[in-house]
Amino acid sequence: MHLDALYRAFPVERSLAMDPLSCVRPFANDRRAAEVAGIMAATLAVGNTRAILRSFGTLAEQIAGDFSGFVDAARPRRPPGPLVDFRHRWLRGDQLEYLGYQLQQLYRSYDSLEEVFLEGMAGSDGFAGGIAALSQGLRGPEAASAPERYRYLFPSPLGPSHSPCKRLALFVRWMVRTEYPDLGLWTRVPTAELRIPLDHHVFWIAYNLGLTARRTPSWAAVEEITAALKRIDPNDPIKYDFVLCHTGISGDCPKHRDLAICGRCAVRPDCRLWRGRVAA
């Protein structure tokens, strides 16, 4: 398969340095710290990767790198905390501090966020139900006084927007897959059940490879792309996510026909932009 050829030849180490997962890997020996750092990194995964890495570094510096301690000390509406001046795009420090508090509440009832996810996944909605349960847990009770626009950070695939929930799907991928560079800290969610974290790079390439016919990202597109990837690898369909995402981030997919770049691309024979055309 052409996608397998792209996967096998992909320079993972080159791209990992520009991926939020690189911020989480140092905590791989402490599951709770890795979960907290992972949720924070995934929540910040908006915009270009350099800005995401810079903002995560600022966050880690302001809490002295102690993600577990940050959660333990969190309060629902505390006076200005260590993140009072933190900004990343539209995300604010008070939102991340409240997220720390919601994580604290979850850890009072659950040993791991995997348990939250599994409770939701056990219902009729499967993986989408797991994401919805995790999202609800992070949002917290509707009656609670959360910071402005905090709950918009954690949509549900089962809600009226049918969000692709890229950031939480990405977090779950990091926690579940055992193959490098993912962490494999969750042991009860099968890799075959994962769903594609659908950012604009992955969606663009997936559409042009014919993995989906949908023209806009949604949970339906997530399911459609995942089903197509399962036909290639039923046991680990989301192993292609890192490759697809960073093919876009790196500029290896220019989003238009450019023989200087596309000529060496393993999946060019499958691409809509090149289908039926002879490279001159």
Residues 6+ apart with CB under 8 A from 126: 193
How far apart are the C-alpha atoms of 150 and 91, rounded to whole Å? 9
Confidence at residue 277, expressed as pLDDT on a 0 to 100 scale: 64
| Nearest CA-CA partner of 119 in 185, 177, 33, 189 | 189
Confidence at residue 278, expressed as pLDDT on a 0 to 100 scale: 57
How far apart are the C-alpha atoms of 178 and 191, rounded to whole Å? 9
Percent of the chain with pLDDT over 90: 88
| Nearest CA-CA partner of 221 in 159, 162, 173 | 162
In the structure, what pLDDT confidence band is assigned to residue 57 with cuts at 50, 70 and 90?
very high
Domain coordinates of the chain in residue numbers?
2-270
The helix (H) or strand (E) run that includes residue 186 is none
Mean pLDDT on 210-226: 97
**pLDDT tens, residue by residue, 132-184:** 999 999 999 986 789 999 999 999 999 999 999 999 999 999 999 999 999 99
| Residue pair 106/79 in contact by the 8 Å Cβ criterion | no
237 vs 278, more confident: 237
Mean pLDDT on 84-99: 95
In the structure, what pLDDT confidence band is assigned to residue 78 with cuts at 50, 70 and 90?
low
CA distance to 109, 268, 276, per residue, from 136 (Å): 14, 41, 47
Confidence at residue 81, expressed as pLDDT on a 0 to 100 scale: 77
In the structure, what pLDDT confidence band is assigned to residue 267 with cuts at 50, 70 and 90?
very high
Q: How far from the centroid of its chain's Cα atoms is residue 199's Cα?
A: 8
**pLDDT tens, residue by residue, 170-189:** 999 999 999 999 999 999 99
